[in-house]
Structure 1
Amino acid sequence: MKSKIFFAALLAASLFGTTACSDFLNEDPKGKLVPGAYFSSQDELNMSLVSLFTKVTDSQSYTNMMYPQWQGDDITANPGSNKQACAQLDAFSASADNKGVVAAWDKHFDIIHEANFIIDNAQRTPTSKEELNIALGQAHFWRAYAYFYLVRVFGPLPINLHNEDDHGTAELASVEKVYEQILADLMMADKYELPASYKGEPRQMFGVDVYVTQQAVKSTLSAVYMAMAGYPLNKGTEYYAKAAEAAEAVILGQKAGKYDAKLEAEWKNIHSMANIYNKETILGVNNSPNRSWSHDSQLASTMLFESLGGWGDAWGEIAFWKRMPDGPRKAATYDPKLLKDGKLYDWWATKDGKSIAEGKTNAIVPEYHPMFSLFTVNDDGHGGQMMAPYDYTAKKWRGMLNGRRHQVIRYAEVLLWYAESAARAGKADLSLAKECLKLVRQRAVEAGEAEKVHGVNIDAMTADQLAQAAYEEHGWEVAGHWVSMVTRRADQLRMNDLKNTFASRVANQPVEVAPGFTATEAVPVSGAWNDNMNYAPYPLQETEKNSRLKR
């Protein structure tokens, strides 16, 4: 069995084998990274991609960069403990020095700086046109990815397209101008005609592509067009049509065997540590199986409640959990019951069996919320990870680091993006769109429920009903999965729905979670809504440098 070596370490060792590689990877990404003589060989071009991919993994390796996703109606936080950064964003009241706000900004601009370095300089490498296209395609794609994350979290942004520090002088570009740049980068990546699959390490490892493929580019184009169709640009039908066209290209390519993508037969296998290199993932971020702080996933304990031995970074919002259709997907997204002291309890269980709507001191599990389990792993009995689908009835692994591959875009999402976009675009023939929705639901919900939503048969749906059903379905598919390119919060932003989540959280009406048992949210939300609350504040460190960073 081949050694599981992370692509960056493998590339560094095989190409250089000296401390120079380590020095390069540790360079400050701001400003010029290396002397102008760089890019004198294919090896150096490869190493520039190593540095870029390192920044990509850094942007997702722990939760801070993703805290803005707590604004969605799927995720909430502990109101106490050390989770104040999460709770602030969950309450739409983040401070400018919130560590999640700062990390989201810094880590994604790190990607942009690395991509700029390649785009500015790669052309002078003495190599083939094909190799240049691959390198430039990766750089343009990841720059687009980073700006796509940032524009949905912060709104207007300074745009820097060169490997130079602007020293805090950049003007703010409007949301529309940022999206124009995102599209320009994705169009360049598409123009370079990246392979549908790669050969050889580190471009393909463990049977999956590490480098960005053409289907990943097209899938991302679909997501971007959808975002532009909705709030705040509201470009509407025309852009939903563009989104449908891009997603359809991926679906038809998959049907024709051009793209090696497939749905996992069982939902529980999607996030199983035994199946992290699956073909449902169209865009993934690889991490080191060797558990190194520099290249790994630090998410294994983030969903396990603190009272049960985890970090408890994210709790499931109660109303969202209540609405989510029962079935294999819900059972694999949340722990159906919580294991405490060797016994299983409903999350709302109390010590005396009575409701605690007015206070929570009587709860068996003090968090008194649904508990996500997408990143949780079982203990193998020897202190290691169980390489199998997660089992909520078994002992949890308490480790901090693992080699989980983060699933940024899954094929199921592309199917749903097509279904929703085709319906919103007014496409005359919606038969493929309806087929896509049914395919996703077949493995997700209880038997007999796959072909209807809210009692309406999918084949009989109007375009409006289909669009709404596909939109809701995507929310269930990515619930609690903050590393997705399109999270629940991102969907809600597009539909101008975050204001409704805010209003619901301010009201904080009790939810009946079981007969005789109600629950309310723990993080207090108050005040009056304004549209600036759709976005996080600009980081204090940046506004002190650049006075233009203001709303």
Structure 2
Amino acid sequence: MNNRILKYLALSLGVLVGLSSCEDFLDRPTEDNYNVDNFYQTDEQCFQAVNPLYNSPWYDFQRGFFKVGEVLAGNYYWGGSPYMTFTINSSDEDLVNMSASLWSVNAYCNGILENIDLKSGPEVSETTKKTVKGEALVWKAMAYFYLVRIFGEVPIVHNNSAEIAAGNYNEKYKATIPNIYDYILMTLDKAIEWLPEKNAPGRIDRYSAYALMSKVYLTKSGYGMDGSRNQDDLDKAAAYALKVIDESGRELVPVFSDIFRLQNNFSSESLLAWHWRGDRDPWTQQNTLQSDLALTGFSEFGDTWGGYAGPSVDLQNAFGEDALSLDRVNRDTRRKATMMMYGDKYEYFWADKGGFDWADYNLNVLGEVQSGTGANQVKHLVGNNNDHVLGLGYGMANMATGLSTHLIRLSDVYLIYAEAVLGNQGSSSDAKALEVFNRVRARAFGKPYDEFLNTSDVVTSLTFDLIWKERRLELATEGDRWYDYVRLHYFNPNKAINELRDQARGTYNGLKAFYETGTLDPSTTYYNEVPKPNINDSHFKLPFPDTDLTMNKHLLEEAVEVDISQFSY
């Protein structure tokens, strides 16, 4: 078994005394003294036991989360990465870490479920037991949702302790994809039963489970279909999304860019998120995405090296932007909140220095335009240490911020609802679907909903392509786009392949000369076309890492039907 899985299984089965002191629900057990018999004795300890599931076991998934979700999907340029060219092999470090992380999450969740039932003391309330187990079940479902969309058929490990005791942990056969979706839905059904309608800010509640359920049903609806989707699954996706929309009391954050600021880590819009701490003790509780994505020198810690990558030319085209222009369109506020380009200034980055000016920094500080696409990342960035203090009240550390990573937002649920209602129709004028779709667009264009309805940007009839593009613009660089292609490939493989193959994945030459002089010389400044990726059906499942194949030879064999009714919580 992978050592990281063993680490998290041990952490969850033999959980830990001597609590660290934090001011929010990220309080966690320390990692030095393992004594399961002295833990789970109070409500507080039970919640502290599950708190690490909001960050640490997911830590090694972060880089793969972005590379698969955005680079592979054509939203992001990342140099010579195999995720740019669909040439990922089984020894790829990010793939290895990603797989280990997801199995670690599953092991940790299974350990929590076991310990709450077997070890909790008489003072622990039934409400706490159910809430903590419900949170663990949602994270377990999310881990399997990633696994099935990344690798396809995978084994179902329902109880790590039982598998280890039986000596067959590394002898598991893969379950079929329909089996895995049924297992995810069974897991979420129980989570919905146990979770409260309202939980502490940032914590998973019943509507988090409903939101994930709607997304799973929308994805599942196309599997094994030919050009259409299963209507019953679409209806369920719409029904669960509508429960979130109508019953949760959640609202969109009024200003799009504010979603991704530290002070909104626990906003009403966020239904499921990783919540990180901006320090490295213990290592793995921190967000390190700023290091991979930000321009050189963006923080004072010398820990940012992402300037030579950036949002793709294809994504810029989708926003109606052009790096070979000195003028920004800026009609859609999501563009600036997603990618920084020439002319962009940000008051929320480097607030103590009067803000961050992309062109000034590239041309006058770095002396180069680092990004070959003419754009750099915005989402997932905090800024400098002062920005971190302003947002959370404490400083960050080297390769460590406390910015939450939002995995499911309310706007995502709005778009799931619109797409599920449209279903297999060519178009729809359903009033509720149009309302929620236009609420997403109203915020994007910076207008109150009622005012937006009187503009030419309002949509009066929904089509798949309209929703498909809106999802891209709304969720760009949030680690989700590849999974949209996976589910599209389920029922319309040619559309998925052709769209990916036709993307603009190249870079520009001579941007610095253009931005310095303001004069576009086509002989100096131009787009470098790259060969179209050789993508086919096989690329919609990534290879199992060598480490996994070494541990379990059955991963190379055909999947077997698994009776999901044998499992229960």
Q: Per the alignment, do residues 379 and 545 of structure 1 end up closer, same or farther by CA in structure 2, a change over 3 Å counting?
A: closer
Determine if contact 1:59/1:107 at 8 Å carries over to the other structure: yes
CA distance, structure 2, for counterparts of residue 510 and residue 344 of structure 1: 17
For the residue of structure 1 that corresponds to 2:150, the secondary structure is helix
Name the structure 2 match of 1:442. Answer: 442
Determine if contact 2:253/2:269 at 8 Å carries over to the other structure: yes
The counterpart of 2:341, out of the listed 313, 319, 336, is 336
The counterpart of 2:540, out of the listed 513, 534, 539, is 534
Name the structure 1 match of 2:502. Answer: 504
| 1:31-70 superposed matches below 5 A | 42=43, 45-58=46-59, 62-69=62-69, 70=71
Give deviations 1:228-262, integer Å, cap 9, x for gaps. Answer: 01245664322111101000011111xxxxx2421
CA distance, structure 2, for counterparts of residue 89 and residue 251 of structure 1: 35
Determine if contact 1:420/1:468 at 8 Å carries over to the other structure: no
Q: Per the alignment, do residues 388 and 118 of structure 1 end up closer, same or farther by CA in structure 2, a change over 3 Å counting?
A: closer
| 1:122-521 superposed matches below 5 A | 122-124=116-118, 125=120, 126=122, 127-164=124-161, 165=164, 166-192=168-194, 194-198=195-199, 204=200, 208-210=201-203, 212-231=204-223, 235-253=229-247, 259-290=248-279, 292=281, 293-306=283-296, 310-312=304-306, 314-325=309-320, 326-337=331-342, 345=359, 364-365=369-370, 367-379=372-384, 385=388, 387=390, 400-424=399-423, 430-445=430-445, 458-459=459-460, 461=461, 465-482=462-479, 487-496=480-489, 497-504=495-502, 518-520=526-528
Determine if contact 1:499/1:534 at 8 Å carries over to the other structure: no
CA distance, structure 2, for counterparts of residue 130 and residue 415 of structure 1: 30
Q: Per the alignment, do residues 213 and 403 of structure 1 end up closer, same or farther by CA in structure 2, a change over 3 Å counting?
A: same
Identity of aligned residues (%): 20
State the Cα distance separating 1:22 from its structure 2 match: 3.4
State the Cα distance separating 1:49 from its structure 2 match: 1.8
Give deviations 1:74-97, integer Å, cap 9, x for gaps. Answer: 122122xxxxxxx11221111111
For the residue of structure 1 that corresponds to 2:87, the secondary structure is coil
CA distance, structure 1, for counterparts of residue 313 and residue 506 of structure 2: 10
For the residue of structure 1 that corresponds to 2:271, the secondary structure is strand
Determine if contact 1:168/1:542 at 8 Å carries over to the other structure: no
CA distance, structure 2, for counterparts of residue 403 and residue 334 of structure 1: 21
TM-score of the pair, normalised by structure 2: 0.74
State the superposition RMSD in angstroms: 3.8
CA distance, structure 1, for counterparts of residue 86 and residue 268 of structure 2: 36
Q: Which amino acid aligns with 2:173?
A: E
State the Cα distance separating 1:116 from its structure 2 match: 1.4
Determine if contact 1:281/1:411 at 8 Å carries over to the other structure: yes
State the Cα distance separating 1:277 from its structure 2 match: 2.9
Q: Per the alignment, do residues 244 and 347 of structure 1 end up closer, same or farther by CA in structure 2, a change over 3 Å counting?
A: farther
CA distance, structure 2, for counterparts of residue 42 and residue 106 of structure 1: 30
Give deviations 1:384-414, integer Å, cap 9, x for gaps. Answer: 647479xxxxxxx995311112211111111
Give deviations 1:203-223, integer Å, cap 9, x for gaps. Answer: x3xxx232x101100000010
Determine if contact 2:277/2:400 at 8 Å carries over to the other structure: no
In the alignment, structure 1 residue 22 sits paired with structure 2 residue 32: yes
CA distance, structure 2, for counterparts of residue 267 and residue 43 of structure 1: 35
CA distance, structure 2, for counterparts of residue 267 and residue 224 of structure 1: 25
CA distance, structure 1, for counterparts of residue 45 and residue 358 of structure 2: 55
For the residue of structure 1 that corresponds to 2:406, the secondary structure is strand
CA distance, structure 2, for counterparts of residue 51 and residue 301 of structure 1: 22
Aligned pairs, how many? 477
Q: Which amino acid aligns with 1:421?
A: A
State the Cα distance separating 1:469 from its structure 2 match: 1.6
Q: Per the alignment, do residues 232 and 104 of structure 1 end up closer, same or farther by CA in structure 2, a change over 3 Å counting?
A: farther
For the residue of structure 2 that corresponds to 1:263, the secondary structure is coil
Q: Which has the higher helix share?
A: 2
Determine if contact 1:307/1:366 at 8 Å carries over to the other structure: no
State the Cα distance separating 1:274 from its structure 2 match: 3.4
CA distance, structure 1, for counterparts of residue 361 and residue 452 of structure 2: 27
Give deviations 1:308-342, integer Å, cap 9, x for gaps. Answer: 773218521111211225421111111032789x9
State the Cα distance separating 1:111 from its structure 2 match: 0.9
Q: Which amino acid aligns with 1:49?
A: V
Q: Structure 1, unaligned stretches of length 5 or more?
A: 13-18, 25-33, 80-86, 199-203, 254-258, 350-361, 390-396
Q: Structure 2, unaligned stretches of length 5 or more?
A: 1-20, 321-330, 346-355, 490-494, 515-519, 558-569
State the Cα distance separating 1:466 from its structure 2 match: 3.4
CA distance, structure 2, for counterparts of residue 545 and residue 442 of structure 1: 51
CA distance, structure 1, for counterparts of residue 402 and residue 206 of structure 2: 25
CA distance, structure 2, for counterparts of residue 500 and residue 231 of structure 1: 19
Determine if contact 2:336/2:344 at 8 Å carries over to the other structure: no
State the Cα distance separating 1:137 from its structure 2 match: 1.1
CA distance, structure 1, for counterparts of residue 358 and residue 278 of structure 2: 31
CA distance, structure 2, for counterparts of residue 398 and residue 54 of structure 1: 16
